[in-house]
Chains A and B, each alone.
Chain A
Amino acid sequence: MTKDTLLLSFIVLLIPMASFLINIFFGNKLGRKSGIVGTFILGIDLALAIVAAYNKLFVFSEEPVIQTRIEWFNLGTVNFDIGIGIDNIATIMLVVVTLISFLVHLFSTVYMKGDRRYPTYFAYLGLFTFSMLGIVITNNFLLMYIFWELVGISSYLLIGFWYEKGSAANAGKKAFITNRIGDLGFFIGIMILFFTYNSFMFDDIFSGIASGKMPFNNPTMLTVTGICIFMGAIGKSAQFPLHVWLPDAMEGPTPVSALIHAATMVAAGVYLVTKVFVMFTADALTFIALTGAITAFMSASIALVQRDFKKILAFSTISQLGYMIMSLGVGGYTNGFFHLVTHAWFKAALFLTAGSVIYAMHESIHHKNDHHTDAQDIYNMGGLRKTMPWTYLTFMIATFALSGIPFTSGFLSKDGILAGTLAYANLTGGWHWVIPVLGYLAAGMTAFYMFRLTILAFHGEHKTEIARNTKENKLPILFPLVLLACLSFWFVYSSNPFEASEGWFQEKVVQPVSVVPETSQWKFLLPEMAEGQAHNQGDNPENSDVVQASPENTYLNRFHEESHHFHYLAMGISLFMAALGIMLAFMMYKFKIINAGKLEVRFKFLHSFLYNRWYFDELYQATAIVGTLALSKSLSWFDTYIVDGLVNLSSYIIRFVSRLTGLFDNYVIDGAVNMASTFTGYCGSKIRKLQTGKVQAYIVFMLLGILTMIYFFV
């Protein structure tokens, strides 16, 4: 039953929430057991996710998407519908997320064992997984945005997990706020879509676009909307120019970095672009491709010179995310998503090995009672190959995959991406050639910095005593590493190590047909009307469903055909670039043919430019942050002294006027009154002299009076 599968995936979504609730409310009772409980719950979740994915991919494969919608609430005239839906990419992501989350849980049971807030940590991991799974199985923008924000907040909690450290608290805040900047665009995009189509459901919106209804009746606005939506991905997937939060996010515990970088959070952005791929116009796609290419190149160049183990991996993540975005931007839907999955495994492996190394270094530091050595600086490591062989082995496999060496999964996906960029550039021409050029440069640099890292950290002599005393870790740490390394081989995806399209993955993840009107879309992304298919599709040209095409005799569209032509050329250049990078790395750090130190001095400006990450943090500090703070400061001043000042001034004026009237009242009005009484009193006091009180005097006066009256009247 399709409904059962959907229900199953819904349960997959809810289970991590249960883990969160159990650990947050009963964590203190569980104590150290909370890690095991969390891991166990995620194990169940993983099993269910695999069942759901199997059902969708192989049992109900003919249905493009199994979904449901319910009314969340309605306002009488406007409905707010939400729902969940699983298509092929969603179920694959379900497995990716739950598997990596499970491995991270397992890894953390050892890695975090000394932490005071052990249960809280597992609770947050549960919340994080829940939020990411929510993004995966949603089929509408509203839920997407909700889980999007939840991912933001859980990343905030986890990155700032060690909040006693100011830098960790800052990093969490920075991640959240930088993401919110992207969310701003995302939300505006959602508002435009809701305004135009009165729905959040992907189906409604896509069919609305296909029927020719445009936001603000203007096809350009569709591009703008697409870019707005993509801004969400820029924030979450750490694309240029909002990539600055990701390196700082390394402040979180290392397993969290693995989770963020491989399965949750950064994958969300790419997943979003994949999910709504069909609504991007040609211009929006160009924007996306360019953003991805710039990101890939920029962060690869930064990674060349970093010293911190985790920072190098962080920039490599940004760079690889750039690849995915670039691939989606040039129209390589399948390869973009393919790289998301392959990258998830080997990047998780790399971060967990980094965790393993750092854990061992910390143990050693603890043992030595040395508090000055930086456990994450690769110049303090060296020779770990001997002390930590399993870690080294898994690290090497993941490094091969990341560098795009044949027989790894990374080779398959990266090759497909680069072929896609060549095809794209060939089809569009002009300045679009920048994109493959940046892509290939990044590929070369990737190989270089990964081998630099390997050589400095694992090869050679022990650079410090600390490194000498490191020990290989226990099974809960090693098991995830080995499993992830195994998943980084080609055979997981395709029987042919040089041809991804022969594998199950490419068969299941087929590029959907764009719903954007032809006038706003690349010609080469529109379906080619083969004789047999013309009839099928002619009936319903705006059909957004996945179009199944058999790869042997026909291509989905011209882009597909072109990529296929470029396949071997792309592979050749890619191998050449990787080999060049590796060779340079060996020459500089292993055989010391080129003196890295001298080079650094020679190109001091370039080095510090790269080392300081192209000065983006400083730039933002100087402009956005200082600007906002200055604005808020001046507004606050304005509020206190001008607005409130006016209020106080008016009260002052009124008080002043009232004082004046008070004076007037006292001296003029009351003065007049007093004067009248004073005058009367004065007269009285004069006249009263006559009042002697002597009766005889009164009689005399009376007599005089009578005489006077007699004189006058008689």
Chain B
Amino acid sequence: MHIGLVHYLVVSALLFSMGLFAIISRKHAILVLMGIELVLNAANINFIAFAKYGGMNIEGHVAAIFVIILAATEAAIALAIILNIYQHFRHVNVDEVDDLKE
């Protein structure tokens, strides 16, 4: 079976959907963060796939590296926020962090 662009895209879509599901359904902030990582990596797969099969060439790789760097920094900042949330609320349950409503 020839592995083509479509396969990559299907994997990426599955990965994206799982990540999105994790973001929406998980209560724990760390899990939400993990969901975001999944979504980002789904995007990375897409970039690389398009670099190989599409016309993106080197730009696709550059974008993927950008996303990795971004994901790293984002993880760092997000973890810092989660720690702060934890300090403030003594939990990291995103459902109960609804002070914005007020």
Contacts and interface: CB of A to CB of B under 8 A. Distances in A.
Interface of A: 691-696, 699-700, 703
Contact of A696 (B94, B99, B100, B102): B94
Contacts of A692: 98, 101
B32 interface: yes
A696 B101 contact: no
Contacts of A693: 97-102
A481 to B, nearest CB: 117
A699 B98 contact: no
A692 B102 CA distance: 9
A702 to B, nearest CB: 10
Contacts of B25: 696
B20, B97, B100 interface centre (most CB from chain A within 10 Å): B100
A695 B24 CA distance: 9
A386 to B, nearest CB: 124
Interface of B: 20, 23-25, 32, 94-95, 97-102
Task: Give 5 nearest A-B pairs by CB, closest first.
Answer: A693-B98, A693-B101, A693-B100, A696-B24, A694-B98
B95 A694 contact: yes
A693 B23 CA distance: 15
Contacts of B94: 694-696
A696 B32 contact: yes
Contacts of A694: 94-95, 97-98
B3 to A, nearest CB: 28
Contacts of B24: 696, 699-700, 703
A693 B94 CA distance: 10
A695 B20 CA distance: 13
22 contacts: A691-B100, A691-B101, A692-B98, A692-B101, A693-B99, A693-B100, A693-B101, A693-B102, A694-B97, A695-B94, A695-B97, A696-B23, A696-B24, A696-B25, A696-B32, A696-B94, A696-B95, A699-B23, A699-B24, A700-B24, A703-B20, A703-B24
A219 B20 CA distance: 128
A693 B100 CA distance: 5
B95 to A, nearest CB: 6
Given A693-B98, A693-B102, A696-B94, 17 more contacts: A691-B100, A692-B101, A693-B97, A693-B99, A693-B100, A693-B101, A694-B95, A694-B97, A694-B98, A696-B24, A696-B32, A696-B95, A699-B23, A699-B24, A700-B24, A703-B20, A703-B24
A696 B102 CA distance: 17
Contacts of A691: 100-101
A691, A692, A693 interface centre (most CB from chain B within 10 Å): A693
Contacts of B101: 691-693
Nearest to A691: B101
Contacts of A696: 23-25, 32, 94-95
A710 to B, nearest CB: 15
B8 to A, nearest CB: 22
Nearest to B27: A696
Contacts of B100: 691, 693
A692 B97 CA distance: 10
B38 to A, nearest CB: 14
Nearest to A695: B94
A700 B102 CA distance: 20
A700 B24 CA distance: 7
A707 to B, nearest CB: 12
Contacts of A695: 94, 97
Nearest to A700: B24
Nearest to B24: A696
A308 to B, nearest CB: 106
A700 B23 CA distance: 10
Nearest to A696: B24
A694 B24 CA distance: 10
Contacts of B99: 693
A520 B34 CA distance: 138
B71 to A, nearest CB: 18
A48 to B, nearest CB: 112
Contacts of B102: 693
A696 B94 CA distance: 8
B33 to A, nearest CB: 12
A699 B20 CA distance: 9
A692 B94 CA distance: 12
A291 to B, nearest CB: 107
Contacts of A700: 24
A81 to B, nearest CB: 100
A567 B77 CA distance: 149
A692 B101 CA distance: 6
B35 to A, nearest CB: 10
A488 to B, nearest CB: 122
B37 to A, nearest CB: 15
Nearest to A689: B101
